[in-house]
Amino acid sequence: MSVTENVMTDKPGANKPAANKHSAVVTLPSDTQVQITREFAASADLVYRAWTTPELIKRWWAGDQGEVVSIEVDLRVGGTWRYVMTAHGGFEVAFHGEYREIVPNARLVHTDVFEPMPDHPALTTVSFTEADGRTTVTLLTDHLTKEDRDAHVESGMETGVQSSLDHLEEIVLALA
Protein backbone atom coordinates (compact mmCIF):
# COMPACT_ATOMS: atom_id res chain seq x y z
CA MET A 1 0.00 0.00 0.00
CA SER A 2 1.22 3.48 -0.70
CA VAL A 3 1.45 5.41 2.52
CA THR A 4 2.04 9.13 2.73
CA GLU A 5 4.70 10.68 4.89
CA ASN A 6 2.00 11.72 7.36
CA VAL A 7 1.63 8.09 8.42
CA MET A 8 5.33 7.42 8.07
CA THR A 9 6.43 10.27 10.36
CA ASP A 10 6.21 8.02 13.42
CA LYS A 11 8.45 5.44 11.72
CA PRO A 12 12.03 6.72 11.68
CA GLY A 13 13.91 6.01 8.49
CA ALA A 14 10.80 4.98 6.55
CA ASN A 15 10.67 5.97 2.91
CA LYS A 16 7.56 7.18 1.15
CA PRO A 17 6.44 4.57 -1.43
CA ALA A 18 5.32 5.84 -4.81
CA ALA A 19 1.52 6.13 -5.13
CA ASN A 20 -0.33 4.71 -8.09
CA LYS A 21 -3.94 4.78 -9.19
CA HIS A 22 -4.59 1.30 -7.76
CA SER A 23 -3.21 1.89 -4.28
CA ALA A 24 -4.93 3.27 -1.26
CA VAL A 25 -3.22 6.27 0.26
CA VAL A 26 -3.32 6.62 4.04
CA THR A 27 -2.83 9.98 5.75
CA LEU A 28 -3.24 11.34 9.28
CA PRO A 29 -5.04 14.69 8.89
CA SER A 30 -5.13 15.31 12.66
CA ASP A 31 -4.12 13.69 15.94
CA THR A 32 -7.37 11.71 15.97
CA GLN A 33 -8.00 11.01 12.27
CA VAL A 34 -7.03 8.37 9.72
CA GLN A 35 -7.89 9.05 6.08
CA ILE A 36 -7.81 6.40 3.35
CA THR A 37 -8.27 7.38 -0.30
CA ARG A 38 -8.55 5.10 -3.33
CA GLU A 39 -9.66 5.65 -6.92
CA PHE A 40 -11.76 3.09 -8.82
CA ALA A 41 -12.36 2.82 -12.57
CA ALA A 42 -16.13 2.73 -12.10
CA SER A 43 -19.08 5.04 -11.51
CA ALA A 44 -20.05 6.13 -8.00
CA ASP A 45 -23.33 4.20 -8.16
CA LEU A 46 -21.46 0.92 -8.79
CA VAL A 47 -18.90 1.53 -6.05
CA TYR A 48 -21.64 2.58 -3.62
CA ARG A 49 -23.70 -0.51 -4.48
CA ALA A 50 -20.71 -2.80 -3.82
CA TRP A 51 -20.02 -0.89 -0.58
CA THR A 52 -23.58 -1.26 0.77
CA THR A 53 -24.98 -4.56 -0.58
CA PRO A 54 -24.46 -7.46 1.86
CA GLU A 55 -23.84 -10.10 -0.84
CA LEU A 56 -21.16 -7.90 -2.41
CA ILE A 57 -19.61 -6.77 0.89
CA LYS A 58 -19.14 -10.44 1.77
CA ARG A 59 -16.96 -10.83 -1.33
CA TRP A 60 -14.53 -7.97 -0.60
CA TRP A 61 -14.52 -6.84 3.02
CA ALA A 62 -12.12 -9.47 4.43
CA GLY A 63 -9.71 -9.04 1.53
CA ASP A 64 -7.05 -11.73 1.77
CA GLN A 65 -7.19 -11.79 5.58
CA GLY A 66 -9.91 -14.42 6.06
CA GLU A 67 -13.51 -15.26 5.23
CA VAL A 68 -16.59 -13.16 5.94
CA VAL A 69 -19.05 -15.28 7.93
CA SER A 70 -21.74 -12.70 8.67
CA ILE A 71 -22.89 -9.40 7.15
CA GLU A 72 -25.82 -7.39 8.47
CA VAL A 73 -26.78 -4.08 6.86
CA ASP A 74 -29.83 -2.00 7.78
CA LEU A 75 -29.07 0.87 5.39
CA ARG A 76 -31.11 3.72 6.86
CA VAL A 77 -30.33 6.57 9.24
CA GLY A 78 -30.44 4.95 12.68
CA GLY A 79 -29.98 1.51 11.12
CA THR A 80 -27.09 -0.68 12.12
CA TRP A 81 -24.40 -2.70 10.39
CA ARG A 82 -22.22 -5.59 11.54
CA TYR A 83 -19.43 -7.44 9.70
CA VAL A 84 -17.79 -10.60 11.06
CA MET A 85 -14.93 -12.58 9.55
CA THR A 86 -12.96 -15.61 10.56
CA ALA A 87 -9.36 -14.60 10.03
CA HIS A 88 -6.65 -16.97 8.87
CA GLY A 89 -5.57 -18.55 12.12
CA GLY A 90 -9.16 -19.23 13.16
CA PHE A 91 -9.96 -16.20 15.30
CA GLU A 92 -13.02 -14.02 14.78
CA VAL A 93 -12.89 -10.31 13.93
CA ALA A 94 -16.09 -8.26 14.22
CA PHE A 95 -17.06 -4.62 13.76
CA HIS A 96 -20.42 -2.90 14.05
CA GLY A 97 -21.93 0.56 14.00
CA GLU A 98 -24.91 2.78 13.33
CA TYR A 99 -25.63 4.85 10.23
CA ARG A 100 -25.84 8.58 11.01
CA GLU A 101 -26.11 9.99 7.47
CA ILE A 102 -26.83 8.41 4.10
CA VAL A 103 -26.64 10.19 0.75
CA PRO A 104 -26.91 7.43 -1.88
CA ASN A 105 -23.91 7.26 -4.25
CA ALA A 106 -22.24 10.16 -2.44
CA ARG A 107 -21.75 9.82 1.32
CA LEU A 108 -22.15 7.54 4.34
CA VAL A 109 -21.50 8.52 7.94
CA HIS A 110 -21.51 5.80 10.57
CA THR A 111 -20.09 4.83 13.91
CA ASP A 112 -17.38 2.18 13.83
CA VAL A 113 -16.80 -0.15 16.78
CA PHE A 114 -14.17 -2.90 16.91
CA GLU A 115 -16.07 -5.34 19.12
CA PRO A 116 -13.16 -6.35 21.41
CA MET A 117 -12.80 -2.63 22.25
CA PRO A 118 -16.40 -1.36 22.64
CA ASP A 119 -15.36 1.70 24.68
CA HIS A 120 -13.33 3.09 21.76
CA PRO A 121 -15.86 3.96 19.04
CA ALA A 122 -14.94 6.02 16.01
CA LEU A 123 -16.96 8.02 13.51
CA THR A 124 -16.32 7.21 9.84
CA THR A 125 -17.33 9.31 6.85
CA VAL A 126 -17.16 7.57 3.47
CA SER A 127 -17.33 9.87 0.43
CA PHE A 128 -17.84 8.67 -3.16
CA THR A 129 -16.71 11.36 -5.62
CA GLU A 130 -17.14 10.66 -9.33
CA ALA A 131 -15.30 12.43 -12.14
CA ASP A 132 -15.02 11.24 -15.73
CA GLY A 133 -16.45 7.81 -14.93
CA ARG A 134 -13.96 7.18 -12.11
CA THR A 135 -14.80 7.28 -8.42
CA THR A 136 -12.58 8.33 -5.57
CA VAL A 137 -13.55 6.80 -2.24
CA THR A 138 -12.35 8.69 0.82
CA LEU A 139 -12.76 7.18 4.28
CA LEU A 140 -12.17 9.58 7.14
CA THR A 141 -12.19 7.87 10.52
CA ASP A 142 -12.24 10.16 13.55
CA HIS A 143 -11.18 8.51 16.80
CA LEU A 144 -11.81 9.78 20.31
CA THR A 145 -8.10 10.03 21.14
CA LYS A 146 -4.68 10.06 19.52
CA GLU A 147 -3.97 6.75 21.26
CA ASP A 148 -7.02 5.17 19.57
CA ARG A 149 -5.91 6.56 16.21
CA ASP A 150 -2.39 5.23 16.70
CA ALA A 151 -3.71 1.78 17.70
CA HIS A 152 -5.76 1.76 14.47
CA VAL A 153 -2.71 2.63 12.37
CA GLU A 154 -0.48 0.13 14.19
CA SER A 155 -3.03 -2.71 13.93
CA GLY A 156 -1.82 -3.80 10.51
CA MET A 157 -4.85 -2.20 8.89
CA GLU A 158 -2.82 -0.95 5.91
CA THR A 159 -2.33 -4.45 4.49
CA GLY A 160 -5.93 -5.43 5.20
CA VAL A 161 -7.38 -2.27 3.70
CA GLN A 162 -5.33 -2.60 0.55
CA SER A 163 -6.37 -6.21 -0.11
CA SER A 164 -10.02 -5.40 0.71
CA LEU A 165 -10.04 -2.50 -1.72
CA ASP A 166 -8.32 -4.62 -4.37
CA HIS A 167 -11.20 -7.09 -4.09
CA LEU A 168 -13.72 -4.23 -4.14
CA GLU A 169 -12.16 -3.00 -7.37
CA GLU A 170 -12.55 -6.45 -8.96
CA ILE A 171 -16.23 -6.48 -7.99
CA VAL A 172 -17.05 -2.99 -9.32
CA LEU A 173 -15.26 -3.76 -12.59
CA ALA A 174 -17.34 -6.93 -12.93
CA LEU A 175 -20.55 -4.94 -12.24
CA ALA A 176 -19.74 -2.39 -14.97
pLDDT grade for 77, boundaries at 50, 70 and 90: very high
pLDDT at residue 1 in the model: 32
pLDDT at residue 53 in the model: 98
* pLDDT averaged over every residue in the chain: 88
Question: From start to end of the chain, where are the E strands?
Answer: 2-3, 25-27, 33-40, 66-73, 80-87, 92-103, 107-114, 122-131, 134-143
pLDDT digits (tens, 9 = 90+) for 153-164: 998 888 889 999
Burial class (CB in 10 A: 0-12, 13-18, 19+), 83: buried
CB count within 10 Å of CB 110 equals 22
Report the amino acid identity of residue 21: K
Query: Do 127 and 112 meet the contact criterion of CB atoms below 8 Å apart?
Result: no
pLDDT at residue 157 in the model: 85
pLDDT digits (tens, 9 = 90+) for 25-51: 999 999 999 999 999 999 999 999 999
Q: With left for phi above 0 and alpha for psi between -120 and 50, is residue 109 left, alpha or beta? A: beta
CATH number for the domain whose boundaries are 2-6+25-175: 3.30.530.20
pLDDT at residue 155 in the model: 87
pLDDT at residue 168 in the model: 97
Least confident of 22-26, 130-134, 143-147: 22-26
